[in-house]
Structure 1
Amino acid sequence: MLHIKSFTFNPYQENTYLIFDDEKNCVVVDPGMHNYQEEEYFASYIQKNELNVCSLINTHGHIDHVLGNKFICDTYHVLPNFHENELPLIIQVQNYAPQMGIRYEPSPIPDRFLTENDKITIGNNQLSLILAPGHSPGHLCLYSEEHKFLIGGDVLFYRSIGRTDLPGGNHQQLLNSIANKIYTLAGDTLVYPGHGQPTNIQDEKENNPFLRA
């Protein structure tokens, strides 16, 4: 059985996720903590629940989703994992974070990059990766067909979609990713987005004003 714990961090109100199994194996997704208080709150949850952090995944490289990369790497001795096309975005964060008054320690770089063919292992469970560019060039979503959930990053939100006016964004590409990759999943798949409340595929197909099936 897999469990999902969400945290909302930083001025962008970004959702950071922990995915863990009954044996306490744990994956961190999009660590967004931006100050010591948020770091302590996150670490205390892991300690209290005796979780073993096995890996760190970034769905994409925008500032709000990588602010905690260095903290996670230093504390739990794991390198971040993300798609190669996100590397320029992550490198750029260290240049503009100070201009925005945001504390940021540059993210370490992985030994290898993720592709859509890779699997994320959590104990005896595996998550598939879905490459869904448009919000960013190498945006990845984490999907469990067995447990019927999608960690969607900034692709699909409740009644909305990711913005495409940032560097590397492409509006039509994002619409194509949603139509051809995300909307093909089972309707009862629960979507955990990078911001805001969870939703599900069927509800968005019927009611999302930006893209109806």
Structure 2
Amino acid sequence: MVHSFVFSPFQENTYVVADDATSEAVVIDPGCYEQHEKEELARFIEEKRLKIKYLLLTHAHLDHVFGCAFVKRKYGVKMYLHEKDLPIFNDVPARMAMFGLRGYDPAEVDEYLHEGEKINFGSTTFDVVFVPGHAPGHVAFINHAERYVIGGDVLFRRSIGRTDLPFGDFETLENSIRTQFYTLPDDYTVYAGHMQPTTIGQEKRSNPFVNE
């Protein structure tokens, strides 16, 4: 089960992915900023009787990490991030101030994610792939058994992640999309960090930024 929530003024997609056989689950990119958003996330987890095993980050831009401390504290789980995104993660308080946002609760990274690593919960397995360009330590999580990608801010429906932010680079992002996403079968679903899901095939045919 892949369930998404749209949180914060940035309209970020937070994901809860659960293993149907065991009810073990992970939270990915908790962008819950307001208290009622945190409560909505917790209520869903409670209603579904899910057992949260990990907190996973595709990358560390502020709209994807608002709720990290809440999730870590609420479920007693470790947080995973690629080491190359630490400068972005450590800069979140400054970015909050720049946007005039308050109330950020800092959290600490517990473990680093690595290219080729596998994340297991219940009978579900994610392959970790390194997809920099939007952020230097950006990763995506691929479930080959169920044919989908939790892609963060790499590839959107007819769009791509911004590369005008600090550490962003279009050529690097384009290479990540071509080598890590477009090599997947066309029917794989892409659950992105913003907007609605898409498929690999749809983007290869019609994405105006990176296509076949």
The normalised TM-score by structure 2 is 0.97
Equivalent residue number for residue 86 of structure 1: 85
Residue correspondence of structure 1 range 37-56 to structure 2 within 5 A: 37-56=36-55
Match of 2:93, SS?
A: helix
Equivalent residue number for residue 19 of structure 2: 21
Equivalent residue number for residue 5 of structure 2: 7
Q: How many residues align?
A: 210
Match of 2:33, SS?
A: coil
| Contact 1:134-1:174 at 8 Å conserved across structures | yes
Q: CA deviation at 1:96?
A: 2.4
Q: CA deviation at 1:95?
A: 2.1
Counterpart of 2:16, as a letter, is L
Counterpart of 1:117, as a letter, is G
Deviations 1:128-149 (A, max 9, x none): 0110000000100000111000
Counterpart of 2:95, as a letter, is Y
Structure 1 stretches of 4+ with a deviation exceeding 4 A read: none
Q: CA deviation at 1:98?
A: 3.0
The percent identity for this pair of structures is 42
Match of 1:82, SS?
A: strand
Root-mean-square deviation (Å): 0.9
Equivalent residue number for residue 56 of structure 2: 57
Q: CA deviation at 1:117?
A: 2.1
Equivalent residue number for residue 203 of structure 2: 204
CA distance in 2, matches of 1:109, 1:6: 23
Counterpart of 1:154, as a letter, is D
Q: CA deviation at 1:108?
A: 1.5
Match of 2:74, SS?
A: helix
Match of 1:129, SS?
A: strand
| Contact 1:98-1:104 at 8 Å conserved across structures | no
| Contact 1:79-1:108 at 8 Å conserved across structures | no
CA distance in 2, matches of 1:175, 1:124: 32
Equivalent residue number for residue 137 of structure 2: 138
Counterpart of 2:109, as a letter, is I
CA distance in 1, matches of 2:158, 2:33: 27
Counterpart of 2:125, as a letter, is Q
Equivalent residue number for residue 172 of structure 2: 173
CA distance in 1, matches of 2:99, 2:155: 26
**Which stretches in structure 2 are left out of the alignment for 5+ residues?**
none
Counterpart of 2:176, as a letter, is S
CA distance in 2, matches of 1:210, 1:117: 27
